[in-house]
Amino acid sequence: MTRPLVIAHRGASGERPEHTRAAYDLAIEQGAEVIEPDLVMSSDGAFVVRHENEIGGTTDVAAHPAFAARLTTKIIDGVAVTGWFTEDFTLAELKTLRARERLPLLRPGNVAFDGREPILTFDEVVAIAREASARTGRVIAVAPELKHPSYFAAIDLPMEDAFVAELERLGLTGADAPILIQCFEVGPLQRLSRRIDAPLVQLIETTGGPADRPDLTYADMVTPRGLAEIAAYARWVAPAATLVLPRDAEGRTTGASALVPDAHAAGLKVVVWTLRAENVFLPLEYRRGEAEAEHGDFSAYARAVRDAEVDAVFSDFPGLAVEALR
């Protein structure tokens, strides 16, 4: 069996604040083949790398008096969110902010790195991957996720044209380009498939459906028919790990679902998200101790995911994943 690819989820985000250079550099050092940036937009149309467009929890924006008046509430994909939003800042303003740990109670060790690093842009993450590829002799790919493209389009910040232009500038539009382009929405991927040859990844949640397709549920999308429809525009499907290894009411895994063989039968590769070491994220049988933040038997869980014959995994702990899947 070929070892699944290890995609560093926002870098080695279990050990450094997510989406920072330190997180990406550590992930590459630990053996990850791919690094993942989530992409949102600034008011002047730059692609910045944050988990969400709301940045109160991942930057020190609240400590900047000059930006206090920009605290607001917005509806993002049908949900009211209060905070500070990237689309209300220019790139130059965003560059004055510094990254913070998003999960300080679960990852208190990462708090020591708060305030050290600026927000990155997409092209800066591509540069990190290319510099590492030259340094290590390994091809380090990037896996950008387009966040809320329908929302951004509705506020006159259309992602797709700008993203294609960025890919063309960076030489990342080809079928063999070291990139995996992800999105939870369907339309953006379908349109991108007609404009570029780079591999596309349809993300799948456990509940609900794509924000741009109220007629479609994620449950529909993981049926054999739904997977065949995805295969018409994407090369990969990326379900939450619990869709591949479902859990019972107590939180124990119940054996692999049919999703992976069905996806393979449709011609799709499968990458699952997100493997994390903390007890709170693990199936019950892999937890150790009582504390949510304590690390459980991550290695055994990662091997169970591998044994479901997935092609890749996202992990906040790429070093542990590489070792477990070796």
Q: What is the mean pLDDT of the chain?
A: 98
β pairing state of 72-76 and 312-315: unpaired
pLDDT single digits (tens) 51-108? 999 999 999 999 999 999 999 999 999 999 999 999 999 999 999 999 999 999 999 9
pLDDT single digits (tens) 241-258? 999 999 999 999 999 999
156 Cβ contact list (under 8 Å, min separation 6)? none
The reported pLDDT for the residue numbered 1 is: 60
**Which domains are present in the chain?**
5-53+103-325 (3.20.20.190)
Please state the pTM of the whole predicted model.
0.97
pLDDT single digits (tens) 267-306? 999 999 999 999 999 999 999 999 999 999 999 999 999 9
pLDDT single digits (tens) 130-171? 999 999 999 999 999 999 999 999 999 999 999 999 999 999
239 Cβ contact list (under 8 Å, min separation 6)? 204, 222, 259, 270, 272, 273
